């Protein structure tokens, strides 16, 4: 079986426990189980992982035809690592245009009702020209959301000319052949089952010392419905908040003024997440991004009794649409010291997902790739190229920021870029290279080196 190309940053971001509002609160039961076993992996061999269905197709569909721009979805295909949506972009204007999707300034992508950070595109199209691009959605990310087939895809693009005039396509939605039979009402249940599946927890090297389905925030159709404290194999800790947007508008959820045990550890805005109408997002509060390990101890926080923060929700004009509210998550003594927060499992003790849980086509493709180690896998190349494209965008922004006389006007974008930067650095550094082909490994080193060289330009 081809080695999983799992990124710890993605895995930890998606690691949210599942119990919808209205169900019995299970925080004590789940917390005790995981604390007693060290991982919650007992009897994992009795569970299975549902394979990803690769049958859904699309019809060629015009998604956008305005402002002398036409965007058409032409194909949905399935590679070894990702589902790939092909889109053709036609620029019929008199100016060259830059098109970006899933950047910090245009984060509108979603699959089956869940906001997804995949599908990054950044391309230039000359006047009267066209291009065909692929938007890739990683299977591992989708599986953690409980998504095992694609029923609908939501994307969006920003379009910018050389004079920095920008236009947004808004949300573009495409339904697949699976949409009519897909049970959208079961989306939350699917998510809950997947994220509590012991095999998935084990294979993603994740622990969950704390989970609760307390509804800590509800205002004008925005609901915070579950909270989780998660730890990955690198002892990186995160608080993950499941936030639903039940309105018919895109909203922006902001967290700020974070406290641990009533000690203020961050006194400004921390995260800023886009949630399009009717969708759910997982807000990631990376605790080790706020304070270094030594700073937790210096602040007297050896065990975390609680985390508090202020939550606010804005509209597209930057105006608050709900009352700002401080919420408190009672973690009840989770170990606050980094190295003691999780016990690592010996690799030899892990129960691997059997090949029976993997689609036959994927196994056959993996075996074929293993015999062709002199060629870079096309899906792996696209993945690495998408990472490099983001860092190109990030470096250009930081150059402008560093040379700006009005940095205050750029602070929202600056905060968004830093959040996205952390995510992509995690992806880059945590690619599982153990069983890469020689060609894939060489390409990984080549792209990583270029990215690090670019980052030196702004450091």
The CA-based dihedral angle spanning residues 428, 430, 435, 439, taken in that order and rounded to the nearest 10 degrees: 10
What pLDDT is attached to residue 147? 92
Which of 178, 238, 181, 243 lies closest to 206 in space, CA to CA?
238
What pLDDT is attached to residue 278? 94
Give the pLDDT confidence of 352-384 residue by residue, as tens digits.
333 333 333 343 444 444 445 578 888 778 778
Give, in order, the Cα–Cα distances in Å from 323 to each of 15, 248, 274, 326, 415. Answer: 28, 18, 18, 10, 22
What pLDDT is attached to residue 21? 29
* Intervals of the chain under pLDDT 50: 1-41, 338-371
Give the pLDDT confidence of 136-154 residue by residue, as tens digits.
999 888 988 889 999 999 9
> Which percentage of the chain shows pLDDT scores above 70?
76
Give me the DSSP letters along 375-410: S--HHHHHHHHHHHHHHHHHHHHHHHHHT-S-GGGG
Give, in order, the Cα–Cα distances in Å from 226 to each of 190, 261, 373. Answer: 15, 20, 44
Give, in order, the Cα–Cα distances in Å from 138 to each of 78, 143, 148, 149, 432. Answer: 10, 9, 11, 12, 14
What pLDDT is attached to residue 434? 61
Which of 385, 422, 405, 220 lies closest to 319 in space, CA to CA?
220
Element (H, E) at 198: helix 198-203
Q: How many other CB atoms are found less than 10 A from the CB of residue 43?
A: 9
Full-model pTM: 0.67
What pLDDT is attached to residue 7? 34
What pLDDT is attached to residue 19? 26
Give, in order, the Cα–Cα distances in Å from 77 to each of 140, 174, 458. Answer: 16, 14, 38
């Amino acid at each position: 079986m081809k080695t999983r190309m799992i990124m710890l940053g993605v895995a930890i971001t998606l690691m949210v426990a599942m119990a919808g509002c209205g169900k019995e609160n299970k925080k004590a039961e789940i917390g005790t189980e995981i604390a007693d076993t060290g991982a919650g992996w007992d009897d994992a061999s009795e569970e299975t992982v549902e394979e990803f269905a690769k049958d859904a197709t699309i019809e060629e569909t015009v998604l956008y035809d305005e402002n002398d721009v036409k965007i058409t979805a032409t194909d949905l295909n399935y590679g070894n690592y990702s589902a790939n949506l092909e889109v053709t972009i036609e620029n019929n204007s008199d100016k060259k245009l830059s098109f970006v999707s899933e950047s910090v300034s245009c984060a509108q992508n979603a699959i089956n009702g869940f906001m997804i950070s995949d599908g990054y595109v950044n391309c230039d199209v000359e006047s009267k020209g066209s291009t065909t691009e692929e938007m890739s959605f990683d299977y591992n990310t989708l599986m953690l959301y409980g998504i095992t087939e694609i029923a609908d895809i939501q994307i969006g693009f920003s379009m910018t000319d050389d004079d920095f005039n920008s236009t947004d396509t808004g949300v573009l939605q495409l339904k697949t052949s699976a949409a009519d039979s897909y049970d959208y009402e079961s989306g939350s249940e699917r998510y809950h089952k997947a994220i509590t599946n012991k095999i998935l927890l084990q294979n993603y090297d994740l622990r969950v010392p704390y989970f609760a389905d307390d509804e800590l925030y509800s205002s004008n159709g925005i609901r915070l419905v579950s909270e989780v404290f998660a730890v990955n194999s690198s002892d990186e800790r995160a608080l993950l908040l499941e936030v639903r947007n039940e309105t018919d508008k895109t909203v922006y959820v902001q967290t700020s003024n974070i406290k641990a045990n009533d000690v203020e550890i961050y006194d400004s805005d921390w995260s800023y997440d886009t949630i399009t109408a009717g969708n759910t997002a997982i807000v990631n509060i990376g605790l080790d991004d706020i304070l270094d390990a030594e700073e937790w101890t210096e602040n007297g926080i050896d065990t975390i009794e609680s985390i508090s923060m202020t939550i606010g929700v804005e509209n597209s004009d930057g105006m608050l649409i709900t009352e700002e509210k401080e919420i408190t998550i009672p973690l009840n003594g989770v170990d606050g010291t980094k190295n003691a927060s999780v016990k690592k499992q010996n690799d030899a003790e892990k129960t691997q997902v059997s090949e029976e849980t993997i689609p036959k086509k994927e196994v056959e493709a993996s075996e074929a790739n293993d015999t062709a180690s002199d060629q870079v896998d096309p899906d792996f190349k696209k993945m690495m190229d998408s990472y490099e494209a983001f860092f190109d965008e990030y470096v250009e922004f930081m150059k402008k920021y560093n040379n700006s006389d009005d940095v205050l006007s750029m602070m929202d974008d600056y905060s968004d870029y830093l959040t996205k930067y952390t995510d992509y650095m995690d992806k880059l550094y945590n690619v599982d290279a153990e069983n890469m082909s020689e060609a894939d490994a060489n390409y990984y080193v080549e792209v990583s080196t270029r990215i690090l060289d670019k980052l030196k330009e702004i450091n």
